[in-house]
A = this chain, B = another copy of it.
């Protein structure tokens, strides 16, 4: 265990506004201003764009997935090739997800016991065994700046399962802390507990009592209602210590980012902006545009007249619609650039709002405009 006093703290809280927070995370590959949104590069690549384009959208942190990279090309191979930063040529901070969520959503024939999980690869059916110690070893081979504890991601509405899973998640968290050897990586614990306020509270207390410099909230945005998700954020937020960053895993729509920052979240990741781009949808602060729609065929406006991304500075909706109708993969690249830029700009604006003390005004205005154009999801 290498947690303890160091010359530079991992996280500095710079300002608060209500429950909202602005801060900075220090990593060996540079500082991260929070709130932040991290795009997902599951297989050591953010789909459809280059690292140079990623950087030009303003992205500072990229997520990669330990489960996928362990299976292909292999964490040891990536270590032999110089680690993940070198492998994917992203010299800025990287976070690896531990694979807990993937094991419980993608892998086949999984068997969970108190020591770990045995499962079949979703790629080739081969049998694998993951334990907290193995997951840490994998993430140490990959070499990301921020790594995650191994957790069990359970169905959010099943109380009995959540109680059982929570005990394992907490035990595994402690084992991950013990297993960790590299001093240039920061390990986050993960709070679980489904949609049950008492379990979330218990989990937040337990994880916060351990020596994790950062704390993630997992198992949300996986099928529960928006109301339940926000309620859980409030419960967890009231328990977590102020001095550590709070990472809401798998959340990434504009309205969710705003609602969660208001409730004290500092970090987000989600496949939503990149996946929607490949499905022809553009995120805007006034809702989504499906650019496949024929109504855009003669529309000479950019996706969002207020957006400063390369796509909006360069191309019309009519051209993007043509690329989609013509099945040109360039459409996915251009929409990915726009969607990421939209979320990155939004987090930057939320940060400014916290620093200047008008977060509520910002969020009220944002949510009013947003829901005017699009009814809230249930």
- Which A residues contact B (CB, under 8 angstroms)? 43-52, 72-73, 77, 80-82, 87-89, 297-298, 300, 310, 314-316, 318-319, 322-323, 325-326, 328-330, 332-334
Contact = CB atoms under 8 A, between A and B. Distances in A.
Given A73-B322, A81-B316, A314-B89, A332 B330 contact: no
Contacts of A43: 322-323, 326, 328
B73 A315 contact: no
Choose among A46, A88, A319, A325 the residue with the greatest number of B CB atoms under 10 Å from its CB.
A319
A333 B334 CA distance: 12
A88 B326 contact: no
Contacts of A319: 44, 81, 87-89
A308 to B, nearest CB: 15
B310 A80 contact: no
27 contacts: A43-B322, A44-B319, A44-B322, A45-B323, A45-B328, A46-B330, A48-B330, A49-B330, A49-B333, A50-B310, A50-B330, A50-B334, A52-B310, A72-B325, A73-B325, A77-B297, A77-B318, A80-B298, A81-B298, A81-B300, A81-B319, A87-B316, A87-B322, A88-B319, A89-B314, A89-B319, A329-B329
Contacts of A51: 314
Contact of A45 (B77, B298, B330): B330
Contacts of A88: 319
Contacts of A52: 310, 314
A309 to B, nearest CB: 12
A88 B314 CA distance: 9
Contacts of A49: 330, 333
A48 B319 CA distance: 15
Contacts of A46: 330
A88 B298 CA distance: 14
6 closest Cβ pairs, A-B complex? A43-B326, A45-B328, A89-B314, A73-B322, A45-B330, A48-B329
